[in-house]
Amino acid sequence: MTPDPAPAIILVRPQLGMNIGMVARAMANFGLDDLRLVNPRDGWPNPDAGPAAAGADGVLDSVRVYDSVDAALHDCRLSFATTMILKGLPKPVATPRHAVASIRAARVKAGILFGPEAAGMSKDDMAAVQTLITIPASADFASLNLAQAVLTLAYEWGTAAGDAPALRDVPDPPAPHAELAELVAQLVEALERAGYFHIADRRPTSERAIAAMLAKAGWSSQQVRTMRGIVRALSEARAARQRTT
């Protein structure tokens, strides 16, 4: 039996090289090695990361850098974002243990987003993910630094290795995020041509809501292709009507 695909740890706009290094160390402690950065503030490579990694050079050497959350999630079939702010985000919420259990059971590639040190995840960052993760820290002092948050998830991954059911194949797993992002872009383009975004100030909120709804569905690749065909057919029919009027 092939091992469960380990999740990607995705740092969104990380600010300090030292913190990236400490994240690499936390990942290596529990066998994670897929570290991805989205628009690191000080660029990459960063000389401050190596000493803080304390020997986790293999993780640092394989770091990949992306210019958007969608790009960083491109091959992930499950997507999560860690946050303490849940208001106004109508998405399922899981603890680290439950999130890891769902990844282990599905046996597909997952991506877990962590926000920048100062401000955490934005609503735009979280729109594309399927599930939110909140760490049940003390209400009196709930602040964790970036490496601590990653370590919590990495620990759950490492200790859950023998807990998942022995599944050979997962029928119709969720589509890779890249396919879903293409559907979102196609739908937004079609809606723009149809004049849906007639109030400019509301467009960012509308686009975020569309991305969130489509991410929540958990469609398979076949279902995404079906929806793209539906959007294309409706767009072509509208264009044909316009040509004959």
CATH of the domain spanning 8-159, picked from 1.20.120.140, 3.40.1360.10, 3.40.50.970, 3.40.1280.10? 3.40.1280.10
State residue 10's pLDDT score: 98
What tens digit of pLDDT does each residue of 108-128 get? 999 999 999 888 888 888 888
The DSSP annotation for 63-88 comes to -EEESSHHHHTTT-SEEEEE-S--TT
Cα–Cα distance between 11 and 54 in angstroms, integer? 19
State residue 171's pLDDT score: 63
The DSSP annotation for 187-226 comes to HHHHHHHTT---SGGGHHHHHHHHHHHHHHH--BHHHHHH
- Beta strand pairing call for 131-133 and 78-82: parallel
How large is the average pLDDT for residues 33-43?
97
State residue 167's pLDDT score: 41
State residue 168's pLDDT score: 46
The maximal CA–CA distance of the chain, rounded, in angstroms, is 69
State residue 68's pLDDT score: 96
Position 166 confidence tier, pLDDT thresholds 50, 70, 90: very low
Percent of the chain with pLDDT over 70: 93
State residue 160's pLDDT score: 86
For 167-173, which contacts have Cβ atoms below 8 Å and span 24 or more sequence positions?
167/105, 167/107, 168/1, 170/106, 170/107, 170/108, 172/220, 172/222, 172/223, 173/77, 173/106, 173/108, 173/220
State residue 216's pLDDT score: 80
What tens digit of pLDDT does each residue of 64-92 get? 999 999 999 999 999 999 988 767 677 89
Task: Provide the residue ranges of all domains of the chain, joining segments of one domain with +.
Answer: 8-159, 177-244
Cα dihedral: 197, 203, 206, 208 (round 10):
140
